[in-house]
């Protein structure tokens, strides 16, 4: 396995000539910053997810009226994005730093800019732009109003006000901030390849790069995702997990049922990487996953939040009637 060292590339320096923050410095600084804003700092969810949004701490906790604030690192798997470790900016596995605050604070944009300062970015000296980019997740039946955040032309964060999750209106509206940790750290360190990111720097001068930690993973998982994964097994796993999700929902257990939704998503993504799903089949599978996700959200609303789906519908009809009465 090839070993990368910090001496192979310069990178930017931090304040007072110190080396730029390492990958793990960035993570720990964000954790401390958002902890100081009252967020529960969670550990990564122990299931395959395609984005930090898909973890139940965001998806399910976005529902209902209760206040919720959390921040966590989440490893994300997107099998079709693998490039055998040969593309410096595109991988089948990457990290997000996820923040969810419900209700959304009025000063959330200022809080976000404060988080950039906390990791060493002088926001007054750089071109920080919020570019409109609304978000939608077909598999979750979710959408929101949002922006991409660009720093000097590089997208580093997605900023979204959730409007609906699992077919349910979000009230109060939560805000999600999803940092792309690799891109953000590449920018901070001034390197052109994510594999050259300095992951850690010991007091004894020993440096580990992102490539030291993950390059071999990219090579092997890319081969597995595109060439080796057993498609018959994956088709069966999808069907089995779909049935298990429905069976678990019959027991009124939306949290473990949602795990099966995530397993279905990952099986589908692997099948997609293997190239065995047609365009027509793709839409059918997405619909099956969305049906499961919405059922989990409905069960969560009823058995955790305490609002039955019928009550939600009646409330919406009542609100619509009041609006008509004002006109």
Kindly state the DSSP code that residue 224 receives in the 8-state scheme.
Answer: I
Segments forming the whole domain that contains residue 192: 6-225
User: Residue 179 falls within a domain, yes or no?
Assistant: yes
Q: Contact, 194 vs 230, CB < 8 A? A: no
Same domain, residue pair 11 and 56: yes
> What span, in angstroms and rounded, lies between the C-alpha atoms of 296 and 194?
36
Same domain, residue pair 95 and 213: yes
User: Residue 139 falls within a domain, yes or no?
Assistant: yes
User: Residue 322 falls within a domain, yes or no?
Assistant: no
Same domain, residue pair 294 and 160: no
Same domain, residue pair 206 and 249: no
Instruction: Return the residue matching tokens 């900016």.
Output: 89
Choose the weakest-confidence range: 10-19, 147-156, 183-192, 195-204.
10-19
**Which residues, including other chains, have CB under 8 Å from residue 262's CB and lie 6 or more apart?**
47, 48, 49, 54
Same domain, residue pair 108 and 142: yes
**Is 80 exceeded by the pLDDT of residue 6?**
no
What percent of the chain has pLDDT above 70?
Answer: 89
The residue among 209, 225, 241 that closes a domain is: 225
Convert the pLDDT of each residue in 267-316 to its tens digit. Answer: 999 999 999 999 999 999 999 999 999 999 999 999 999 998 754 444 44
Q: Say whether 78 sits in a helix, a strand or coil.
A: coil
The residue among 175, 204, 225 that closes a domain is: 225
User: Residue 199 falls within a domain, yes or no?
Assistant: yes
**Is 90 exceeded by the pLDDT of residue 320?**
no
Phi-psi region of 185 (alpha: psi -120 to 50; beta: other; left: phi over 0): alpha
Strands (DSSP E) along the chain, which ranges?
Answer: 40-42, 68-77, 93-102, 128-132, 135-137, 142-151, 154-165, 168-169, 175-180, 198-201, 207-209
Same domain, residue pair 206 and 267: no
Same domain, residue pair 191 and 272: no
> What span, in angstroms and rounded, lies between the C-alpha atoms of 168 and 176?
17
Question: ∠ CA(162), CA(168), CA(173), 5° rounding?
Answer: 30
- State the total domains in the chain: 2
Q: What is the per-residue pLDDT for 18?
A: 78
Q: Is 119 exposed, middle or buried (0-12, 13-18, 19+ CB in 10 A)?
A: buried
Q: Around Cβ 301, how many Cβ atoms within 10 Å?
A: 22
Q: Which residue has the higher pLDDT, 273 or 16?
A: 273
The residue among 203, 225, 247 that closes a domain is: 225
Q: What is the per-residue pLDDT for 324?
A: 41
Count how many Cα atoms sit within 13 Å of the Cα of residue 268 in the half-sphere of its side chain.
24
Question: ∠ CA(243), CA(223), CA(178), 5° rounding?
Answer: 65
Instruction: Return the residue matching tokens 């050259």.
Output: 196
Q: Which residue has the higher pLDDT, 261 or 15?
A: 261
- Indicate yes or no: pTM above 0.75: yes
């Amino acid at each position: 396995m090839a070993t990368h060292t910090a001496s192979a590339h310069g990178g930017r320096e931090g304040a007072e000539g110190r080396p730029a923050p390492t990958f793990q410095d960035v993570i720990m600084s964000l954790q401390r910053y958002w902890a100081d804003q009252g967020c529960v700092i969670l550990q990564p969810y122990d299931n395959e997810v395609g984005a930090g949004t898909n973890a139940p701490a965001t998806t399910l906790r976005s529902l209902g009226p209760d206040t919720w604030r959390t921040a966590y690192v989440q490893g994300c798997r997107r099998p079709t994005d693998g490039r055998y470790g040969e593309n410096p900016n595109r991988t089948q596995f990457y990290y997000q730093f996820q923040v969810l605050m419900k209700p959304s604070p009025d000063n959330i944009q200022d809080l976000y800019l404060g988080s950039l300062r906390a990791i060493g970015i002088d926001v007054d000296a750089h071109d920080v732009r919020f570019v409109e980019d609304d978000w939608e997740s077909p598999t979750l039946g979710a959408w929101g109003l949002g922006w991409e955040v660009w720093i000097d032309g590089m997208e580093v964060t997605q900023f979204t006000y959730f409007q609906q999750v699992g077919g349910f209106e979000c009230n109060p509206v939560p805000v999600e901030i999803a940092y792309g940790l690799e891109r953000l750290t590449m920018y901070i360190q001034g390197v052109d390849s994510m594999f050259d990111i300095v992951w850690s720097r010991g007091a004894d001068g020993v440096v580990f790069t992102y490539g030291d930690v993950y390059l071999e993973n990219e090579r092997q998982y890319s081969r597995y995702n595109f060439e080796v994964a057993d498609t018959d097994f994956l088709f069966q796993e999808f069907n089995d997990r779909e049935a298990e999700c429905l069976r678990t929902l019959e027991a009124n257990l939306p949290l473990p049922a949602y795990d099966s939704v995530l397993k279905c998503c990952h099986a589908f993504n692997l099948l997609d990487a293997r190239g065995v799903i047609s365009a027509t089949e793709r839409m059918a599978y997405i619909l099956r996953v969305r049906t499961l996700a919405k059922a989990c959200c409905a069960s969560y609303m009823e058995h955790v939040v305490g609002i039955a789906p019928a009550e939600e519908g009646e409330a919406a009809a009542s609100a619509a009637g009041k609006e008509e009465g004002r006109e």
